[in-house]
Structure 1
Amino acid sequence: MGIRQWPEGERPREKLLALGADHLSDAELLAVFLRTGVAGASAVDLARELVARFDGLRGLLAADADTFCAARGLGAAKYAQLQAVVELSRRHLAEELQRGDALRDPAGTRRYLQARLRDEPRELFGMLLLDNQHRVIAFEALARGTIDAAAVYPREVVRCALGRNAAAVILAHNHPSGVAEPSAADRDLTERLIAALRTVDIRVLDHVVVGDDCVSFAERGWL
């Protein structure tokens, strides 16, 4: 039986409109995006199959184009659409962050940094550039490394911060392993960057390491 024959209160789209997106399961949300199923499977059946195949929505969203398009019911058009949705979400979080004080919204800062960095396949180092009222100017990606290391040069960090007229920065990088615990090298790098930026009167407010969760140097008392 197709979804159109289901009771109205059980159809994902109608359920979303009536109750809100937060009342839908992962598979139901994905079914709304898919719109249609395939032969012998409704959109919800297909969505459940995909959630299982990719071990959750995160795996589906992070899949490369070839892996994504090889799955039943998907293809290049769906890949492009879903990547557009992911990027819209990131930009929405960035706009929210830019409206306020990054220091007064640590949860929003973490949400943005996780959305930006968590699923990067290699280590990426960047920083949030802040004005003198701690409003976000921009996020700049400064170095991409191997799977477990990134080469970060203090002079490039200083040049970037000065070029955007930043008064303060929040450093950030990801651990592709998912383990956010900072390494000794992370702490050493942070100290070197603090010293370099101090010479031009730019403060380092935090260094956030992103994995499956986030670790804040400021909260650890390391700054």
Structure 2
Amino acid sequence: MKYEKAANPHAGHRQRMRERFQKDGLDHFQQHEILELLLFYALPRVNTNAIAHELIQQFHSLSGVLDADVLELKQVHGISENAAVFLKMIPAVCRQYQLDKMREHLVLDSTQSILDYGKAQFSGVEEERVLLMCLSESLELQHCETISKGNTQSALLDIHAVVACAIRMRSRQVILAHNHPHAAAEFSDADLFATQRLRQVLRSMEIILLDHIVIGKSGDAVSMRQLMGWTD
């Protein structure tokens, strides 16, 4: 007697997932399903459903997975180095996508536009950075440069680096920005003191510090110009 081979209930699963995404996007995907779909392209012959569930269990959320470093990801059973690097690339690619969409003829003529650009610059960045934005006379962004990485307090005191960048770019209007990747957006007393000192030095060179913003870990943002009521 011949027995028919039982149909594999998982046959075509990947194709169905891809078709579902193409039809409706990711809005109705659960977090583990998004990871499962992503991992199709890093682990082509592996059941990524179980791995996706384990990633969520380990790091608690999709953002937690994507914020984890490569070594942490590789500790999850089934995650190869290629898969870990692939997942780690996703926030960086999203950041570059956001910046590229904003880059052409970007005018920073309002607090909201400055905060929006700052959020895009620091999206997915896990280390503390200090950025200087150099603007034209019409407030169009000419250049954005990382002044320093690591310890924000000491970086803010590096007035020479700020001045050198502004002079090199021939910019008379600049904006300072830094991030708190592991804390809320708020200015310390040291931030306020260092910024006031920097404003004085720049003003003596006929360079205006238009604002100093800080971006927090959850995308919250604060403008020192608004906080302190700057009028120039």
TM bucket normalised to smaller: 0.7 to 0.9
User: What are the residue-to-residue correspondences of 1:94-105 with 2, within 5 Å?
Assistant: 94-99=99-104, 100-104=106-110, 105=113
Q: Is the 8 A contact 1:16 1:23 kept in 2?
A: no
In the TM superposition, what is the alpha-carbon distance from 1:114 to its structure 2 partner?
Answer: 3.3
Q: Is the 8 A contact 1:94 1:112 kept in 2?
A: yes
Q: Structure 2: 5+ residue runs without aligned partners?
A: 1-8
Please give the root-mean-square deviation of Cα atoms over the aligned residues, in Å. Answer: 2.8
Q: Is the 8 A contact 1:102 1:136 kept in 2?
A: yes
2:4 counterpart residue number: none
Query: Which TM-score applies when normalising by structure 2?
Result: 0.78
Moved segments of 4+, more than 6 Å: none
Cα distance change of structure 1 residues 165 and 71 upon mapping to structure 2, 3 Å threshold: farther
Please tell me whether residue 52 in structure 1 is matched to residue 57 in structure 2: yes
Q: Is the 8 A contact 2:69 2:88 kept in 1?
A: no
Q: Is the 8 A contact 1:131 1:167 kept in 2?
A: yes
Max Rg structure: 2
1:115 counterpart residue number: 123
Aligned letter for 1:90? R
Q: How far does the alpha carbon of each residue in 1:11-70 deviate from its partner, in whole angstroms, 9 at most, with x for none?
A: 3x22221112344333222222101798xx943442232123113233322322221222
Which shows bigger deviation, 51-60 or 187-196?
Answer: 51-60
3-state SS in 1 of match to 2:176? strand
Query: Which TM-score applies when normalising by structure 1?
Result: 0.81
Return the alpha-carbon distance in structure 1 between the equivalents of residues 224 and 20 of structure 2. Answer: 42
3-state SS in 2 of match to 1:172? strand
Return the alpha-carbon distance in structure 2 between the equivalents of residues 189 and 214 of structure 1. Answer: 19
Aligned letter for 1:210? I
2:183 counterpart residue number: 178
User: What are the residue-to-residue correspondences of 1:1-223 with 2, within 5 Å?
Assistant: 1-2=9-10, 4-5=12-13, 8=16, 11=17, 13-35=18-40, 42-99=47-104, 100-104=106-110, 105-106=113-114, 108-115=116-123, 117=125, 119-120=126-127, 123-146=128-151, 149-151=153-155, 152-212=157-217, 213-223=220-230
In the TM superposition, what is the alpha-carbon distance from 1:195 to its structure 2 partner?
Answer: 1.6
Q: How far does the alpha carbon of each residue in 1:87-118 deviate from its partner, in whole angstroms, 9 at most, with x for none?
A: 2222222222322212353453143133164x
Return the alpha-carbon distance in structure 1 between the equivalents of residues 172 and 94 of structure 2. Answer: 27
Q: How far does the alpha carbon of each residue in 1:182-207 deviate from its partner, in whole angstroms, 9 at most, with x for none?
A: 11111111111222222333322221
Return the alpha-carbon distance in structure 2 between the equivalents of residues 138 and 51 of structure 1. Answer: 39
Return the alpha-carbon distance in structure 1 between the equivalents of residues 228 and 98 of structure 2. Answer: 27
